[in-house]
Amino acid sequence: MLLRQTLNRLIILGFMVLVGYCLAKAINSGSIMGILFAVVSLGAGIYFLYLAAKAKEEIELETEEAS
């Protein structure tokens, strides 16, 4: 279980690093479209993490109620 959690965190960290790199490159080159896409990707990543945490809480709550 620890390996799976670590792998998930590394994937999320890698995604955020890539989005940050894309945002920095877009700012450096002055690309408005690149900046927009990078910010939208960052927002989607953060929203995904929010939904994943919320789903995990609901699953834990349902398992506690079932016991």
Predicted local confidence at residue 66, as pLDDT: 81
**pTM score, whole prediction:** 0.80
Q: Find tokens 């699953």 and name the residue.
A: 59
Predicted local confidence at residue 35, as pLDDT: 96
Cα–Cα distance measured from residue 32 to residue 6, given in angstroms and rounded to the nearest whole number = 35
- Whether 6 shows a pLDDT value over 80: the answer reads yes
Cα–Cα distance measured from residue 34 to residue 26, given in angstroms and rounded to the nearest whole number = 5
